Amino acid sequence: MESHNKVVVAVVTLALGLAVGGGVGYAVAGMNEMDGGQMADVSTSTKAADLRAALNNLESEHVDLASAATRAGFDGDPSFEAAAGALSKNTDDISAAIASVYGDDAGEQFKEIWASHIGFFVDYTVAAKAGDKAGMDKAVQNLNGYVEAISTFLSEANPNLPKEAVAQLVTEHVGLLKEAVDKHGAGDFAGSYDAQSRARTQITNKIADTLSGAIVKQYPEKF
């Protein structure tokens, strides 16, 4: 039971680590068809359903925390420090959980990649507030590097997640969070929250559901 719990936690945090469209969903759906629907059958089991629910909840929370932090950073709100601290603790927890399954080296590698992405979004927010187009472009370039790094990491950790498809999900997710910052900066607060809502839907319906199915297939004996 303890071993199973560690795998479940790592799966949840692996999904949360995707700061990440629909390419993976379609790719995994295709793999499901090729294996005669076995993946779909497994995903309806109780343990798999619990995993899917956990992924949906945590990934939705991730979007809300990231959105709150970037808005606070843009506005110079004193709550930014607390939001940044929560994200930092989240990074530590995610990395430790991944290390519990994939080893300490993998946990440290993931932590470095994930922490860099948070920093790049902070850079983008600061540059956007200052109207620094060059700084914004540089942050976007760095975020593109993050997409490459996290896609490589996740595809190597789980053979059921094709790298190019993962990159599509990561890119869509990052784009939606960027849109939330841009809309907020332009004073379009309704548009910013709409982008946040779409980011929440994307990360739950496309990323969490896809990732839970891929992990169940990776560890069928656990689910």
Buried b (16+ CB within 10 A) or exposed e, 192-220: beebbeebbebbbebbbbbbbbbbbbbbe
Matching residue, tokens 């294996």: 35
73 contacts 123 by C-beta, under 8 angstroms: no
73 contacts 80 by C-beta, under 8 angstroms: yes
Q: How many domains does the chain have?
A: 1
Q: How many CB atoms lie within 10 A of CB 66?
A: 23
- 1: pLDDT strictly greater than 50: no
Mean of pLDDT values over 91-119: 78
Matching residue, tokens 């993962």: 166
Q: What are the tens digits of pLDDT across the range 6-48?
A: 443 444 334 334 333 334 443 444 444 434 444 444 445 577 7
- 76: pLDDT strictly greater than 50: yes
Give 98's pLDDT tier (boundaries 50, 70, 90).
Answer: low
Higher pLDDT, 125 or 35: 125
Q: Mean of the per-residue pLDDT values for the chain?
A: 78
pLDDT of residue 48: 79
How distant is the alpha carbon of residue 222 from its chain centre?
A: 23
H or E element in which residue 102 lies: helix 79-102
Alpha-carbon distance 85 to 90, whole Å? 9
Find the domain containing 99 and state its range: 2-222
Find the range with the poorest average confidence among 18-32, 122-136, 208-222: 18-32
Mean of pLDDT values over 162-171: 93
pLDDT of residue 154: 86
Q: What are the tens digits of pLDDT across the range 27-37?
A: 444 444 434 44
Mean of pLDDT values over 117-139: 92
Of 115, 77, 100, nearest to 13 by C-alpha is: 100
- pTM for the model stands at 0.75
Higher pLDDT, 55 or 34: 55
Instruction: Tell me the three-class secondary structure of 16-64, residue by residue.
Output: HCCCCCCHHHHHHHHHHHHCCCHHHHHHCCHHHHHHHHHHHHHHHHHHH
Mean of pLDDT values over 183-201: 96
- 108: pLDDT strictly greater than 60: yes
The residue type at 54? A
17 contacts 107 by C-beta, under 8 angstroms: no
Contacts of 182 (CB under 8 A, 6+ apart): 128
Highest mean pLDDT among 11-15, 150-154, 189-193: 189-193
Alpha-carbon distance 209 to 34, whole Å? 18
Provide, rounded to the nearest whole percent, the portion of the chain with pLDDT above 90.
39
Give 61's pLDDT tier (boundaries 50, 70, 90).
Answer: confident
70 contacts 125 by C-beta, under 8 angstroms: yes
88 contacts 73 by C-beta, under 8 angstroms: no
